[in-house]
Amino acid sequence: MVIALFYKYFLFLNLFYLDVIVRKNEGTLILNLLTSSTLLLTLMFAVFSESAEKTGEALFIENCAECHQRNGKGIVNVYPSLAGNELVIGSGADVALVLIIGRGEMPSFNAAMTSTDMANVINYVRNSFGNKGELISEEVIESLKQ
């Protein structure tokens, strides 16, 4: 929403420049056009690069917390707690296999998540809620997917 407003503001600036510039010489026109489009491009790049890679925490809240809860403690007898969970503490590869294959009521995330996102969310659950584990790389996830 805020981003959309910014975007509109810059678009407006762009038009404004064009309007004013018509009365000036060509050199200024090109310079002003360059300035306003550079601003636009910078903004768009910032927006896109921000949304490109999500943090493990954001991914967890988006994909896992509805069942395992934000605090990772799950719901007794329904969704297992990931806090202090043997499998989770055990190895990143085991968690990756659960995400890739799915398990019981839990859906597979193979199609829904890139290897980068999987690595980020696994590293998050293995190092949150009191857990501590070595990091897993997206390359290892990639090889497990095959």
In the complex, which residues of this chain contact ligand HEC (CB under 6 A)?
63-64, 66-68, 79-80, 82, 85, 87-88, 95, 98-99, 103-106, 109, 121, 125
**Shortest spacing between CB 144 and ligand HEC, in angstroms:** 14
**Shortest spacing between CB 73 and ligand HEC, in angstroms:** 12
- Shorter beta-carbon distance to ligand HEC: residue 36 or 120: 120
- Shorter beta-carbon distance to ligand HEC: residue 121 or 141: 121
Rounded to 5 degrees, φ, ψ at 69 are: 70, 155
Give dist(CA 71, CA 88) in Å, integer.
15
Question: Among candidates 95, 91, 73, 99, which has minimal Cα distance to 133?
Answer: 91
Question: Among candidates 51, 50, 68, which has minimal Cα distance to 109?
Answer: 68
**Shortest spacing between CB 48 and ligand HEC, in angstroms:** 24
Residue that is written with structure tokens 């997917």 in the block: 145
- Shorter beta-carbon distance to ligand HEC: residue 32 or 91: 91
Give dist(CA 127, CA 89) in Å, integer.
9
**Shortest spacing between CB 81 and ligand HEC, in angstroms:** 8
